[in-house]
Amino acid sequence: MADLKRTCLHDLHLEMGARMVPFAGYEMPVQYRLGVMKEHLHTRAAAGLFDVSHMGQVLLRPRSGQLEDAAEALETLVPVSVLGLKEGRQRYAMFTNETGGILDDLMIANRGDHLFVVVNAACKLADVAHMRTHLSESCEIEVVEDRSLIALQGPRAEEVLARFNPYVEGMRFMDSVNLGFFGEECWVSRSGYTGEDGFEISVPNGKAEELAHALLAMEEVEPIGLGARDSLRLEAGLCLYGHDIDETTSPVEAALEWAIQKVRRRGGEREGGFPGAARILRELEEGAGRRRVGILPEGRAPMREGTALFAGDEGGEPIGNVTSGAFGPSIGRPVSMGYVAIEHATEGSTIYGEVRGKRLPATVSPLPFRPSTYKR
């Protein structure tokens, strides 16, 4: 642990009784005194506070002074429409490679005169290098080191945050604005990684602990660790990079084609022009050979990452594998996600996961496992 980085909220985590673990090069809280199960259910019922300061925050400023130039440049690296992103709005995207795989998934916000990009912790050094290599002629690339990132998630998140700034009540899912908290400008988006309504707040490091303390002083709010963050996102059908998506996985295989707007598809005004376009555009029209699906195991035994999947209860070659699996506290049963050959991806199909040498039945399920509650 001595070689790991620490966020500005490290002392607060210890004060709140966190169990700390290594994660993406950081010492991070996996759970607090409530424990993973209660933290999960509390977030679903009220509001949970997450430290996500290990994520990468990057500003792309157009050298020309015209935001369209930065957006156009970024479109050479992602298959989504950045030019079509309105000021004050945020969009999910992914960096792709030349073979159509996913280098990372990320969020892009239009902040008027520049773009704000949030990338995954484990990928941020590679992502920044990728952007510097391909975007430096068009953009100044500024890695934000002086801000922390916290997330307030759950059905009472709006009620809580509105006590500090009532403007949040009018925000919609994926809005991204600058708001004042405790005399400091914070960058606030109505988004998150739990399937719940909520907010992500980029706050100056010097105010991060004060804001976190103030939020945790509200009776609706509890601190939430990485354990519950993972089970929450799994119930919501959200991908974890390096597990459910990676450099070999295309957006179509991953069931992420909803993020690719028509303007970037075949026949669109800005068709292609991103790495791996040949494969991705072909799969958008013809489909892929495998598909990420939800999996509901029968019984109580979870099918965890790496579990081989089969078409029958004996014999035959694997048809896929589980990429994420855990117990889903909100629905009271095990849930998994994974990839299966396309002929076995039909919802309601029975497949079998090999657990401790036995093949146990499971049902191919739609995602998410629990309806999301974003404020549209």
**pLDDT tens digits, residue range 290-346?**
999 999 999 998 999 999 999 999 999 999 999 999 999 999 999 999 999 999 999
3-state secondary structure of 221: strand
pLDDT tens track for 185-214? 999 999 999 999 999 999 999 999 999 999
CA separation for the pair 318, 306 (Å, rounded): 12
In eight-state DSSP terms, residue 24 is T
CATH topology of domain 289-376: Elongation Factor Tu (Ef-tu); domain 3 (2.40.30)
Tell how strand 333-341 and strand 198-204 pair up: unpaired
Looking at the chain, the domain(s) classified CATH 3.30.1360.120 span: 1-56+80-93+104-238
Q: Label residue 179 exposed, middle or buried (CB < 10 Å: 0-12, 13-18, 19+).
A: middle
CA separation for the pair 286, 203 (Å, rounded): 44
Looking at the chain, the domain(s) classified CATH 2.40.30.110 span: 289-376
Helix (H), strand (E) at residue 73: helix 67-74
Phi, psi of 103 (to 5 degrees): -80, -35
Nearest Cα neighbor of 154 from 122, 182, 181, 190 is 190
Identify residue 257 by its one-letter amino acid code.
E
Mean predicted confidence (pLDDT) in 44-58 = 98
pLDDT tens track for 79-134? 999 999 999 999 999 999 999 999 999 999 999 999 999 999 999 999 999 999 99
Phi, psi of 160 (to 5 degrees): -70, -50
pLDDT at 1: 72
Mean predicted confidence (pLDDT) in 129-156 = 98
Strands (E), the chain: 19-23, 26-31, 47-51, 56-62, 90-96, 102-110, 115-119, 139-143, 147-153, 176-181, 184-189, 198-204, 221-223, 290-297, 308-310, 320-328, 333-341, 350-355, 358-365
- Torsion (CA) 354, 356, 360, 364 in degrees, nearest 10: -50
> Per CATH, the architecture of 1-56+80-93+104-238 is what?
2-Layer Sandwich (3.30)
**pLDDT band, residue 359 (cuts 50/70/90):** very high
Q: What percent of the chain is modeled with pLDDT above 70?
A: 100
Residue 354 has pLDDT above 90, yes or no: yes
CA separation for the pair 156, 129 (Å, rounded): 38
Q: Report yes or no: 311 and 319 within 8 Å, Cβ to Cβ.
A: yes
Tell how strand 102-110 and strand 115-119 pair up: antiparallel
Instruction: Report the Cα–Cα distance between both ends of the chain, in Å, rounded.
Output: 41
Identify residue 233 by its one-letter amino acid code.
R
Instruction: Return all residues near 249 (Cβ < 8 A) that are at least 6 apart.
Output: 101, 102, 339
CA separation for the pair 49, 219 (Å, rounded): 12
**pLDDT band, residue 2 (cuts 50/70/90):** confident
pLDDT tens track for 216-262? 999 999 999 999 999 999 999 999 999 999 999 999 999 999 999 99
pLDDT at 174: 98
